[in-house]
Structure 1
Amino acid sequence: MTTRTYRSTRRDEAASITRAVILDTALERFTAQGYSATTIADIATHADVAVNTIYASIGGKAQLVLALIERARTDPSITSTLDGVGRTDTGRAALERLAHGVRTSSEHSQRVIAVMQDAAASEPSVADAVHRTELGYRANLDSTVGHLRSLPDFRDELDTRAVQDALWFYFGFSPWRTLIALGWDWDRTEHWLALQAWREIYRVPQD
């Protein structure tokens, strides 16, 4: 009985490692040559696995992208960021903490974001997953609004929807992608977006 359990554990570990290798390789190939131009055979060659192994463990190209999205979505830094924002006692500190967490997640996941948007153009299942991912991400941002409203110097004329929109405008997918594409580095992008959001949501002393 113990031997069978041990062997089962070893098989599970090997399968997990193989899955990770396949996903890492798929991400590299999709990034290097685009979703449409990449084939399962190409991924299998670079991952040093059989084509049937990819289909059996994950599925086709669309399923590979969906698995990459799910892996990024469960990044533990998201929960850590939200917890950190909730422990701040000033608006500026809260938005700087939020900006840093979003930057860390975005920097880590930028290739996945680019691949999922590329694949969404031709794969309805991926397009649906992208939409659900955006909704989930926006819900995470929205969850900080109550705390932001409770901090000193909050602009009372802003209703909840206005704050939600401001958070999406500064910390959604688009601003990071746009500024990085313009040649900004991650540090500059992080600090600028945090500053602009602070000025939008709180009464900021005039210079």
Structure 2
Amino acid sequence: MPYDNSSRAAAAAATRTKVLAAARDAFLTQGYAATTIRGIAAAAGVSQETVYKRFGNKARLLKDAYDVAMAGDEDAAPVGARPEAVAVREATGPEEAVAAYAALCRGLTGRAGGLMRVVASARGGDPDLDAFVATVDAERLTGATLVAGLWAERGWLRPGLDAERARDVIWTLNSPDVWLLLTQRGWSPQDYESWIATGLRSMVLRSA
């Protein structure tokens, strides 16, 4: 009879969920510097060794918690495969693309905004955390490159704008640093979504 390891896999998944939930709560309430692996392990009801074996270090825990927040769940499907991102790719014209991309940005910041603040407040004090920030920025650049390339192929970019410059504008518009500045000024999620849409219309996409 073949060995059935489904119970072990389910237990591992449950442990991961508990640890990530405990980590997210700790980061949001205590900040990055004050959060410890010991505290996360205690809150999750597991050993420190378990946390280290599964996640490596505190920065990796933050990255994994951030990825779950961005996606909205722990499903393995990347953000790019989620309905919000699919809507951007399946847009049939510039205006539909604007609306879909602005809604995507609002959804991502709505789910991961709290952890974005944690990252911003702790940068420069931990090499592992700085590496995480660099990874996130690179992931955003990859996403912006794909979107700009798609819009260029469809002939939707503003006259005189190439895909490379469009990518840079999109990457700047969706920067967590920009979102943080705007929310510090009291902007609502709707304000942010509208601003993203306005920026895309005025700087990236031609009129429908």
Do these two structures clear the TM 0.5 threshold for a shared fold by scoring above it? yes
User: CA separation of 1:203/1:50 partners in 2, compared to 1, >3 Å: closer, same or farther?
Assistant: closer
1:181/1:120 CA distance change after superposition, 3 Å? same
- What is the 5 A alignment of 1:102-121? 102-121=105-124
Give unmatched runs, 5+ long, in structure 1.
Answer: none
Structure 2 residue identity aligned to 1:201: V
Q: CA deviation at 1:18?
A: 1.1
The question of whether the paired residues in 1 share the 8 Å contact of 2:158 and 2:204 is answered with: yes
Deviation of 1:26 (Å): 1.0
Partner of residue 79 from structure 1, selected from 71, 78, 81: 81
On the 8 A contact 1:40/1:61 being kept in 2, the answer is yes
Q: Which amino acid aligns with 1:9?
A: S
For 2:162, the equivalent position in structure 1 comes to: 159
Stretches (4+) displaced over 6 A: none
Q: Paired residue for 1:141?
A: 144
Q: Confirm whether residue 20 of structure 1 aligns to residue 22 of structure 2.
A: no
After superposition, what is the alpha-carbon deviation per residue over 1:128-180, rounded to whole angstroms, capped at 9, x for unaligned? 22212211211111211233235577421112232122212222222222222
Question: Which residue does the alignment assign to 2:54?
Answer: 57
% of aligned pairs identical? 24
Residues 170 and 193, structure 1, Cα contact 8 Å, conserved in 2: yes
| Counterpart position of 2:134 | 131
Q: Tell me if 1:186 matches 2:183.
A: no
The answer on whether the counterparts of 1:77 and 1:105 sit within 8 Å (CA) in structure 2 is no
Structure 2 portions without partners, runs of 5+? none
TM-score, normalised by the number of residues in structure 1? 0.82
One-letter amino acid of the counterpart of residue 56, structure 2: G
AA aligned to 2:26 is R
Matched residue pairs, number? Answer: 202
Partner amino acid, structure 1, of 2:175: G
